[in-house]
Amino acid sequence: MHFRCARYSRGNLDCACRLPARSPRCRWFWWTASWRCPPPGSPTTYILKPPIARFSATTENDAFVMRLAAAVGLDVASVETRVVRARTFLLIQRYDRALDGAGVVRRIYQEDFCQALAVPPETKYANEGSPTFSVCFGLLRRVAARPAVDLLKLLDAAIFSLISGNADAHGKDFSILYEPQGARLAPLYDLLAAVAYPDLSPKLAVKIGGRTTLAEMDATAWAAFAADAGLGLPLVRRPVVELSAAVGDLAEEVASALMRPGLDEPALSRFVGLVRDRAEHCALTVQ
């Protein structure tokens, strides 16, 4: 089994008070009960994501939001929490890998939305020139093998990011997976309730209906978002109500299932309260 370790150097906030970009990653694989470097060029099948030093309980935050997204029906990369010598980390299974008939791990080509649209990674936020949701929906209409399916998945992802406080979701956090049967929206990854940290900006990296925070959302904003997405307003209103209800109903259950020795239980409880409050608020914005 192969693993990949992502080293993060997020000690300083950038000028927009966003999560700074990752430093280069190092790859590892598990072999005969020990960690080893993989052979050059070999595909890895897992990502090891350590906590962000400056912010508390980011492993718990990441895992909770990812598991919650899966629980409410979103297509999300599989994640596990691990604790080694009192240090937490997240183990994320790569979705862009497959075993061939000989049992060899093969890469599946993917590209994030910025790459697909030839947008430089340094301008990954919408206010810096990165893709807006209107552009993102347009991209899926052009390249997805089943655009009707993927448009609804992207819609759910945008709504869930708003509810969960995943304000840092930007053009490099959505990808297209090029499988033999055709291109599709890749499973979601790198979900974090950034609004849990006062030092981070609560503003959405990609606006929804011209708004940047949950407090600004109302029926007019959802109508504008529906127009941007090229979807009917009833098709947008329904998942807002349904996802808000599902998040409120399942947040505690997800956190309880996630809890294990070594994780920060009070932090998980705070995250539960945060997303429940936001879900209740979000449900009211379509009225």
What digits encode the pLDDT tens for the residues 39-75? 777 788 888 899 999 999 999 999 999 999 999 999 9
List the structure tokens of 76: 């999300």
79 CA to centre of own chain: 12
Give Cα separations from 236 to 103, 179, 249 (angstroms): 42, 28, 20
- Positions annotated as catalytic residues are 168
pTM given for the model: 0.88
Q: Residue ranges of the chain with pLDDT lower than 70?
A: 1-38, 122-129
Instruction: Give the separation between CA 195 and CA 280, rounded to whole angstroms.
Output: 16
Q: Which residues of 202-224 are buried (b: 16+ CB within 10 A; e: fewer)?
A: bbbbbbbbebbbbeebeeebbeb
Alpha carbons 248 and 112: distance in angstroms, whole number = 30
CA distance 6 to 49: 5
Q: Give the Cβ contact number of residue 109 at 10 Å.
A: 10
pLDDT per position as a tens digit, 80-104: 999 989 999 998 989 999 888 887 8
Per-residue pLDDT at 12? 29
User: What one-letter code names the amino acid at 151?
Assistant: L
